[in-house]
Each structure stands twice: as C-alpha cells, then as structure tokens.
Amino acid sequence: MTVTSPHPVSKRYRDPELTVLSRTNATIELQLAHRSVRAFLDAPVGDDELTAIVAAAQSASTSSNLQAWSVVAVRDAARRNRLAKLAGDQDFIRRAPLFLVWLADLGRAARLAAAQQAPLDATQYLESTILGFVDASLAAQNAVIAAESLGLGAVFVGAIRNAPDRVAAELHLPDRVFATFGLAVGVPDPTESAGVKPRLPQRAVLHHEVYDDGGDAVIGDYDARLAEYNAEHARTTGWITPVLQRLGNRGSLKGRHLLREHLTRQGLPSQ
C-alpha cells in the first residue's frame, strides 16, 4: 500500500481550505518547507557555500540597480559571542558557524561621490534609508532560500538593532552604513523541537483590487491552529496575544524606539 505524504502547503497553513496547490514545483515546495533554525550541528559553512549564498543574494532585485546593501560574514567565535550579547544574548548566534550581518549601505555611493566631487543630497532622506533596508531584505531572503537548498538552516535576528552603535563599532561600519538584521546560518540540528510554523490564512493577507478587512474573520481559527502547533513544541500561546504584547508598548522594542537617533549618528538622518 502506498502512503501519500501530505502536500507541503498543508503544513504551512493547517487550513482545511488549502491542502494542496494545483500549480507547484520544487522551488515553491522548498519555500513552503522553510522554518527558523536555532539549533545547529558543530559543522562549518565553507567558503564554497558562502560564495553560492552571496551569489544568490546578489541575484535579488535592487532598486535602480543601486545595490545599496552589503553583508558582513562573521565566523570568529569571539566576535559572534560579542554580537550575541548585543543581540539579546541569544545563544544560537554563538553556536551558528556563520553569522551574516546585512547592511543598508549608502556608504559605497558616498565614497564614489566624494571621489568624483559629486553631490549625494538624496541620501539625507527617508526614502533612501528605506531603499537600503529593502535592498538588504530582498538579498537576504534570496540568501536563505539558497542556504536551505544546500541543506543548511537559518534564522533572522532583528535584535541586531538593539544596540546599533555598538554593533557598528564592532563591525567597523563607516558613515551611511547601518546593520539592519542578522542571519545565523548552519547545519540544522535534527533534534531541535521545531517544525513548519503555520501562517495566517490567505484570506487574511490577500486582497483583490482594494484592501478588505473582512479577512480578519478567519484570524480566530488561525489563532487556534497556531496554539495547537505551539503546544506540540512546548509553547503555550496562539497568535493574537503575542502580537498585541509585542506591539503594546515601546518596552518590547528593546531600545529600538531610538532607531532614528541611531540612524542619524550613522550618517542616515532620514528626513
């Protein structure tokens, strides 16, 4: 008797309304299987893998071909330890053999402008800062898919923004370069208690022609499905309560409510 495995989309949603995709392929199924990895085996990520990951990152779209991002690959254990302390003291940063810090990088253009004595006034405005963050995010997501295709796992680390001045000093970041987030990369530890975390139903996020908040009606069911998933991994919450707690006050931002001041000190006033 042949046992048919459930379609990966059923794990992604746990939604009886979406259990199979009529159009799919290996790339989509790799994306559907994505999960955050916070436990890594003691195995290195080699230069060949890093080169492939960065090549995939550089193949992402970039606004006006400005390529306004860079990435710092951190392998040194002492530096990873210092960055871990700055980023919420998260131990998996220490244990990951590779920690990538993704940068919004307008400094490269600034150095070109200085060399040619050209103005660069547009970098003073919020749009240019956003552009650097978007470019870095697009590149990093490509990098994650590439890493996973090579059998690696990864997890994004927004807490790299908890102490941006100290991170900038640690990484010797020049003017107009800002550390947007980190990415821990390594070979996943198969004993980690984790799986494919269910996402909101498409009815909550997909709008046709105009925004329609009627999709909010399915959030209660999703909250129950996520609570079920979390219970399988020794966690007790659904979705609604953590979202409201995370956004309820500035204390949950861990100092990131001062981000505009840090950007200004790093040469990105974002007017």
Q: Mind listing the pLDDT tens digit for each residue in 3-52?
A: 456 789 999 999 999 999 999 999 999 999 999 999 999 999 999 999 99
Residue 4, pLDDT score: 56
Q: Which domains does the chain have, with CATH numbers?
A: 35-193 (3.40.109.10)
Residue 3, pLDDT score: 43
Asked whether the whole model's pTM tops 0.75, one would answer: yes
Instruction: Burial-class residue 76 by CB neighbours within 10 Å (0-12, 13-18, 19+).
Output: exposed
Q: At CA 141, angle to CA 138 and CA 145, rounded to 5?
A: 140
Residue range 210-220: mean pLDDT, rounded? 97
pLDDT over 90 (residue 1): no
Percentage with pLDDT > 90 across the chain:
97
Residue 184, pLDDT score: 98
Q: How far apart are CA 130 and CA 133, in angstroms?
A: 5
Give the tens place of pLDDT for each residue, 186-204: 999 999 999 999 999 999 9
pLDDT over 50 (residue 123): yes
- What separation in angstroms does the CA of 105 have from each of 2, 128, 263, 266? 53, 10, 12, 11
Residue 6, pLDDT score: 75
pLDDT over 80 (residue 262): yes
Residue 269, pLDDT score: 95
Across the chain, mean pLDDT equals 96
Residue 7, pLDDT score: 85
Residue 119, pLDDT score: 96
Residue range 202-224: mean pLDDT, rounded? 97
Strand partners for 18:
15
CB burial of 195-223 (b: ≥16 within 10 Å; e: otherwise) equals ebebbbbebbeeeeeeeeeebeebbebbb
Residue range 78-96: mean pLDDT, rounded? 98
Give the tens place of pLDDT for each residue, 146-192: 999 999 999 999 999 999 999 999 999 999 999 999 999 999 999 99
